[in-house]
Chains A and B, each alone.
Chain A
Amino acid sequence: MKLKLATAALSALMAAGPALADLVIPDLSYRTGPYAAGGIPFSDGYNDYFTLLNERDGGIGGVPIRMVECETGYNTEKGVECYEATKGEGALVYQPLSTGITYQLIPKVTADDIPLHTMGYGRTSAKNGDVFSHTFNYPANYWDGASGAVNYLLEENGDDLSGKKIALVYHNSAYGKEPIRTLEELSKKHGFELVALPVDHPGQEQKSQWLQIRRDRPDYVLMWGWGVMNQVAVQEAANIRFPMENFIGIWWSGSENDVLPAGEAANGYKALTFHNVGTDFPVFDDLQKHVVDAGKAAGAGDQVGTVLYNRGLYAAVLAAEAIKKAQEISGNAEITPSEMRAGMEALEMTEEKMAELGLANFGPTFSVSCENHGGDALVGVTQWDAANKTWTLISDFKQTDGEVIGALIDEDSAAYAAENNIEGRC
């Protein structure tokens, strides 16, 4: 009897404790609450790619991946709780999917020696790896987005924006205010007039802002929105008959969710991106076969190929490639979070590698280093086709203004280093 009890207790302990033979990836998802429509496809894509690696390849380097999902509801406190609850499982990397959670986790992950990946969100100056040792924001950040938009408009206007008026409609929060400083610098450099129009959370009522746009007649409108603010803005732009092709959103304002409610009126709306759109890549055939058709998809399988699903999938691809790099550097198949951080810092995404993964031209090529945790800052532009209900990548992934952004990153990260007594490590 004692032997049976001891065996049962040992089995229970083994089941409850971390399985050392797994590569543990937490998924701080938000499948409930006001922003669930954005959180679900990202999380589905993130999970499905790791499921594909498990089903098709037996994991990475022969070690299976174990996903640990924790619901944050896009709430910062819950996000931090999720981090605390899951880090003991041997979590290799966190993708918190929220700028608020990111700011809270930056000091924690540094102390716990666990890497943090904030892809296209979070603290922009974390690109400076000399100061932010455990935070990575490759392949692009908000300031790259601002510069990418201006570069695109420069191209559209024969490299001359002098005398043009650009309005920025932004969510009145830390996130929404991120591009202002960069755009102010770029307006000085290129001679355009910048008009910033804040929209209060949640953004259901924007009549004042769009009446002002109608009166001021800016040549272009940029948008830093999220959630319901995006749908209302696209609808209001259509209502005042603002030309949609002159309306460009950041990548968090550029999913199907944001344009479908406006119907045909949203046709021509543009959004920035750091990854490709659609399912015309060989990896999606594998996903269909090994994950969706096998009934192993994280969701209902109805989000495959949507913008945010692809973003989640791309985040998983980059995490998986960093794991491979970490395994290569350390010589261990079962890596530690510290080894994962080293892998992320040595990550290099080439065209050949993307093609091998069945994702040729899905994302920009870039490399990460000790000093540069943000990659090569390449940004593309997509456009919405309302008739076919599809986004199309209408530009290559192009270089953003490193001169302007680099100076701002140096300034902001130096201030953070001084506040927190951080010494350069590279």
Chain B
Amino acid sequence: MPDQLIFAMEVFLNGLMAGVLYALVALGFVLIYKASGIFNYAQGVMALFAAMTLVGIMNGQVPFAHLINATFGTHIHKFGWNVPAFVAIILTMGVMVLLAWAVQRFVMRHLVGQEPIILFMATIGLAYFLEGVADLMWGSEIKTLDVGLPQGINLWIDETTFNIFGYGFFIDNLDLVATVIAALLVTALVAFSQYTKQGRAMRAVADDHQAALSVGISLNFIWIMVWSVAGFVALVAGIMWGTKSGVQFSLSLIALKALPVLMLGGFTSIPGAIVGGLIIGVGEKLFEFAIGPLVGGATENWFAYVLALIFLVFRPQGLFGEKIIERV
């Protein structure tokens, strides 16, 4: 088999893995959009906030330590204990539920019935507010996140492919873990929205707020629930990306990777986020591999958007989005 074809296969597999990581971020957007029609600009910052909170709890960091010290002249920074990763994840989830409640109580509740653009603007404000709070709470230094996930080359795949092709493929163990987690997450989310009472209520709210209210569905509860689930997805994405690069403020920029995925997969489909992620991941990696060297490289960022745009031209609602029908 020609070398270039073997290399392309390796690139293809890595594209799939990268796509899963993009999809993890896109899922959070889909959940909130599906339930409330809001494009949540703050989803990337929520991933940052969740990851920072997780590291802070694991390391026994005192929240708002700089503020407390500056106000009271103290020198406290740590509680003096470390929290196991599993417990810290549960506690962080608790914080994300609290955040969901606060978003609903102080922002969204006051904007019911407003135009989508107003709700979108509110999430922009929320993103900057949350970034500032995260900075005040946990500080802006880069933090190492280690929840015990494996990293580095998968030796089994390396050896197996070497025996077959004479060239060992590189697949990162972290990407494999992310794939398994994403598969579980999507299955759970689809099952939740299809087969549980709350899931069906969520879909009813997404279809029509007023009609859902008229049959006794609590809009407040559904929104808190949806923002909590989106917070959980943000935590998972934050753990995956934070393990790769350390937890730092640029983590919020991973949202940029989710946008073409959403455009392609549709804003309202959970499986669409995964399929969209895979297409974007594979498309951008193969394009970079085949065409990148001819045009100076660094094609991935813009090619992802071009690919999404091409899909948009032929299917504006995305691959799995609900068909847009407007009657006069």
Pair A235/B151 contact, Cβ less than 8 Å = yes
Q: In the complex, A35→B141 CA distance in Å?
A: 9
- Surface stretch bound by A, among B96-104, B208-216, B226-234, B295-303: B295-303
Q: Considering residues B7, B140, B253, which has the most beta carbons from chain A within 10 angstroms of its beta carbon?
A: B140
Chain A proximity of B281: nearest CB distance (Å): 9
Interface residue? A260 (CB, 8 A): yes
* B140 pairs with A32, CB closer than 8 A: yes
Whether the Cβ atoms of A199 and B153 lie closer than 8 Å is no
- The answer to whether B18 touches A207, judged by C-beta atoms less than 8 angstroms apart, is yes
For B322, list chain A residues within 8 Å (CB): none
CA distance A208 to B281 in the complex (A): 11
CB-defined contacts of B7 to chain A, threshold 8 Å: 211, 215
Interface size on B, residues (CB 8 A): 43
Per-residue CB proximity of A1-41 to B under 8 Å, as 1/0? Answer: 00000000000000000000000000000011111110010
Q: Any chain A CB within 8 A of the CB of B249?
A: yes
At the interface, yes or no: A107 with Cβ under 8 Å from chain B? no
Per-residue CB contact flags for chain B residues 299-314 toward chain A (1 = under 8 Å, else 0) read 0110000000000000
Q: Is A238 an interface residue (CB 8 A)?
A: yes
User: Which one of A40, A200, A208 contacts B11 once the chains associate, using CB atoms below 8 Å?
Assistant: A208
| Contact partner, A211, options B66, B170, B251, B300, Cβ 8 Å | B170
Instruction: Using A37-B142, A228-B245 as known contacts, say yes or no to A202 and B253 having CB atoms under 8 A apart.
Output: yes
**Which residues of the other chain, B, contact A353 by a CB distance below 8 angstroms?**
none
Are A198 and B241 interface neighbours, CB within 8 A? no
- B168 nearest CB neighbor, chain A only: A214
Shortest CB–CB separation between residue A149 and chain B, in angstroms?
Answer: 20
Across the interface, which residues of A come within 8 angstroms of B254, CB to CB?
A: 204
Verify A239–B250 contact, CB threshold 8 A: no
Kindly identify, within residues 257 to 286 of chain A, every residue whose CB is under 8 Å from any CB belonging to chain B.
Answer: 257, 260-261, 263, 265
- Among A205, A209, A238, A300, chain B packs the most CB atoms within 10 A around the CB of A205
Contact present for A235 and B245 (CB under 8 Å): yes
CB contact list, B35-63 vs A, under 8 A: none
Query: Total interface residues on A, using CB and 8 Å?
Result: 40
Q: Which residues of A contact B300 (CB under 8 A)?
A: 200, 205, 208
CB atoms of B69 and A34 under 8 A apart: no
Q: Which residues of A contact B34 (CB under 8 A)?
A: none
Instruction: Given A37-B142, A208-B289, A263-B144, decide whether A172 and B298 contact each other with a Cβ distance below 8 A.
Output: yes
Question: Would you give the shortest CB distance from B16 to chain A, in whole angstroms?
Answer: 11
Assess whether B142 is in contact with A197, with CB atoms less than 8 Å apart.
Answer: no
**Are B151 and A239 closer than 8 Å at their CB atoms?**
yes
B135 touches A32 (CB 8 A): yes
Distance to closest chain B CB from A346 (angstroms):
39
| C-alpha spacing A197/B292, complex, angstroms | 10
The residue that B69 contacts in the complex, of A33, A207, A300, with Cβ under 8 A, is A300
In the complex, A261→B245 CA distance in Å? Answer: 7
Is B10 on the interface with A (CB-CB < 8 A)?
yes
**B: which residues have CB within 8 A of A?**
7, 10-11, 14, 17-18, 66, 69, 77, 132, 135, 140-142, 144-146, 151-153, 170, 172, 241, 244-246, 248-254, 257, 285, 288-289, 292, 296-298, 300-301
Could you list 5 A-B pairs, sorted by A, with CB under 8 Å? A33-B249, A34-B249, A228-B248, A228-B253, A239-B172
Please provide the 7 A-B residue pairs with the shortest distance between their CB atoms, ordered closest to farther.
A261-B246, A198-B298, A36-B140, A34-B250, A228-B250, A172-B298, A200-B301
A interface residues (Cβ-Cβ under 8 A, vs B): 31-37, 40, 172, 196-202, 204-205, 207-209, 211, 214-215, 227-228, 231-232, 235, 238-241, 257, 260-261, 263, 265, 300, 302
